Structure 1
Amino acid sequence: MNITKRDNRVEEFDTEKIHEVLFWATEDIKGATVSDIEIKVAPQFYDGITSKEIHQVLIQGSADMITEKTPNYQHVAANLLNFYLRKEVFGTSDNMPTLLEVINNNIKNEIYDKSILEHYSESEIKKLDNIMKHKRDYDLVYAGVQQLIDKYLLKDRSTGKIYETPQYMYMLICMTLLAKEGDKVRRRTLIKDMYNDLSTFKISLPTPIMCGVRSPSRQYSSCTLIDVGDNLPSIFHSNTAVGYYTANRAGIGLNFGEIRGVGSKIRNGE
């Protein structure tokens, strides 16, 4: 049986490579066994399957084994999904690019806001790079990694291409929120503290901020309250405002307190 690699090379299916990946994914995880996963996924392999599809089968097979009695498969599935994510984004599972490389590439692709480089010098970015802990990606359980992929990591939704992994996301959120802190030494300390709290799940942020602040949309507001006046122009303008805020990922709240009650006169009782 043959498989097709990501670079379109065709090679013979090697079960030993699957063993190696699964042994890595299950290492030190109680109640998770390589053999059980292999039995689960074996019927899904076929001649000509791609290496990408093999990895997806391993992820889904491990996720399907998450039960009340075997909850630790959520860690196996998370390990495999993180491995897959890194391969998709950077083509590697361990040699992560520098923070500066990711920022430059994503600004070039209009994924990150170009103002980031207006607020931070290359030397500052290199110092912030040393703060990042990529191993924290593996502290997430399967549902957590999947939620980041579905909702928060910046991507081209027309193609599904993802441009960052979790630790870059956390760092760029902190850098963007604290960009205008005047004292650069204090700013670096604040970024470090916030990054550590975000990446270890001590604090959380609203969805619009998580997925919007580092992008060209510059979405900082989360829940937006819109007052609706008691006249047609205000009602229609409020509807337009809802459209714009929703398009920029903001949550919406409408204040109808000024609208007259049911049965009140409109245009002299028409």
Structure 2
Amino acid sequence: MENTDITPSGLTEKDVEKLNSKEGLLAILSREPYNVDRALRYVNYLERLEELQVELIRLQTWAIEHNERIIVLFEGRDAAGKGGAIRRITERINPRHMRIVALPKPTEEQKTQWYFQRYVEQFPKAGELVLFDRSWYNRAVVEPVNGFCTEEEYKIFMKQVNGFEKMILQSGIRLVKIYMSISKKEQQKRFDEIKNDPLKQWKMTPVDEKAQDLWDDYTVYKKKMFKKTNTKQSPWKIIRANKKPQARIDCIEHILYSIPYDKETKI
């Protein structure tokens, strides 16, 4: 039977063993003031992350063997942690059967095309997983809030999007939609951290600079998006993302839950 004796400090023998590991000691010493509870939470997060990443490899192996096509799209406010979640999802899987798509603003030629066309061009081939760091849902929230599309273009998108996703699903592609949600206070905190970090300052865009002032407008369009597009056939999963480690775990767990892969697949 597992030893769960409590040490004088309130930690179990297993907790102490974790904290005495390389990861545990780094977690304790990397941040002042030293906090054992916080370090233990981080080590537990790393353990759970590794378990889930093994399952992601299993899922990908299954997808390759069965010629599955999978799309996972990430939406959310600026600084919600979409990129960080995607990195944890993809860092252990086979890069030859996976792509991350983060499209820049459309070219003049693309502006004359059907709105969804440039996204369709990025869809997965057999055995491939494609993750969209923002997607066609730019037109549901970011574009109307910032004046990047007309009211008519917005209305056309909202009329077409559910039918578009129905076609995706009917074609055999598996679609997972994730929205990462943070508070206004947390977004401001993350913006401040980005601005003060020379290695991250490039992340701050003119759109980000206006995000706090336009918070309520984003909320209005976000609610409209959920009301229209949170369908039975293609539902949204809202991930509470104020705490980054837990949000990353929740994202991976949802993907694994949403894709009916064979959990006995050998890797």
Question: TM-score by structure 2 length?
Answer: 0.24
Could you say which structure has the greater relative contact order, defined with CA pairs below 8 angstroms and 6 or more residues apart?
2
Question: TM-score by structure 1 length?
Answer: 0.24
Question: Which is higher, the Rg of structure 1 or of structure 2?
Answer: 1
